[in-house]
Amino acid sequence: MPNAVPNSLRVAVAGVTGYAGAELARLLLDHPRFRTTAPLFLGRPESEGGAAIALTSLHPQLSGLPHADEAQVLPFDWNQLQREGVELIFLATPHEQSREWSQQALAHNIRVIDLSAAWRLDTPAYRAIYKLEDTPATDALQREAVYGSPELHAAAIREARLVANPGCYATSVILGLSPLVRANLADLSAGIIADCKSGVSGAGKAPTPNTHFMYAADNLSAYAIFGHRHTGELYEQLQLQPEQIQFTPHLLPIPRGILSTMYVRLTEPTTQAAIQNLYDEFYAHAPLVRVRRSPMTPQIQHVVRTAFCDIGFQLSPDGKRLVLISCLDNLLKGAASQAVENMNLMAGWDQAEGLR
């Protein structure tokens, strides 16, 4: 007989103070599998000044959710995790910290979903952008890590010990382009342009001069034009060379959401029906990707505060040029809810459980 699917899972979250960490806490507290036993929330180790603090003192908006008002953010302690029987840990921590704690978690037989960039990239040159140091031990784990895009790697995610949650921009572009690139319909010699725009929460909770209200409000600006850190994910997951795609991110004066517009020249003339069928079939079993009917195209307001990625397109009258639009909430499908999708797959549950 097949192994029974567990009804619940003991999980912990390390790094709950940021925007994505808050969304992850909200989703887990409201997840039907955790109505009896709440997730364990962890902050800095006691040796680094960490102390227990009420979760709702950090995130008052969570008050009223199951277990939220009594939940504490406890100092990080491996002994505590073992006493609590934690089976899976989410790391919403800086990539240097995730790199260290992932190895320790696996040594304690705790599976890992890492929301940082610590394990996303196979190519050393792209990892170097994050100043990640490689050792024989980290090289072995890098080979084991699964890129956590449920639409592309669900089977591997189900069996994984270490899942690297994708970047938010990368998610929007990879989901937008994958059907076309895999079908060899994109003329890569002509180059793909990915023109992407994100709300300011994508830069994280710590303020910077460029995310300050006086800079971002009533403004639109491009940044990291030839050096954004998510670019390596596009190269690897779409199997593209740098000269085959130009990814340009922009900062929108809104709190959250990403809209990626991709301009593609096709290898041969095609029809709207053919492109529609391609995307419908590719995402037929992807519960959190919604393919719009052309000529309707997605908007940020359609996806903000949801776990969906919406994809739409328009084809030029000559059938040779395609404009794709991919929209998602950078804190949800671009971070926290995608991590929950990965947890659901790893636990043997429905991919979209707790997210619709």
Beta bridge partners of 291: 311
65: which 2 tokens? 């959710």
Q: Are 95 and 116 in contact (CB under 8 A)?
A: yes
Among 224, 179, 172, which Cα is nearest to 332's? 172
Q: Is the pTM here over 0.75, yes or no?
A: yes
pLDDT for residue 146 is more than 80: yes
- How many residues are listed for the chain in this entry? 356
Architecture of the structural domain at 11-165+335-347: 3-Layer(aba) Sandwich (3.40)
pLDDT for residue 175 is more than 90: yes
Q: Are 119 and 134 in contact (CB under 8 A)?
A: no
* Domains of the chain, residue spans: 11-165+335-347, 168-328
336: which 2 tokens? 């926290």
Catalytic residue among 168, 196, 309, 327: 168
Residue type for position 264: V
pLDDT confidence bin for 3, thresholds 50/70/90: low
Per-residue model confidence as pLDDT tens digits over 38-60:
999 999 887 777 789 999 999 99
Residue 8, pLDDT score: 83
**Residues 6 or more apart whose Cβ sits within 8 Å of residue 155:** none
Residue 196 is a catalytic residue: no
Residue 209, pLDDT score: 77
DSSP for 132-199, written as a single string: PPP-HHHHHHHHH-EE--HHHHHHHHHH-SEEEPPPHHHHHHHHHHHHHHHTT-B-TTT-EEEEEEE-
Mean pLDDT for the chain?
94
Residue 163, pLDDT score: 98
Q: Are 302 and 309 in contact (CB under 8 A)?
A: no
Q: Chain-centre distance of CA 171, in angstroms? A: 6
pLDDT for residue 133 is more than 50: yes
**Residues 6 or more apart whose Cβ sits within 8 Å of residue 100:** none
183 vs 204, more confident? 183
- The dotted CATH code for 168-328 is 3.30.360.10
Residue 115, pLDDT score: 97
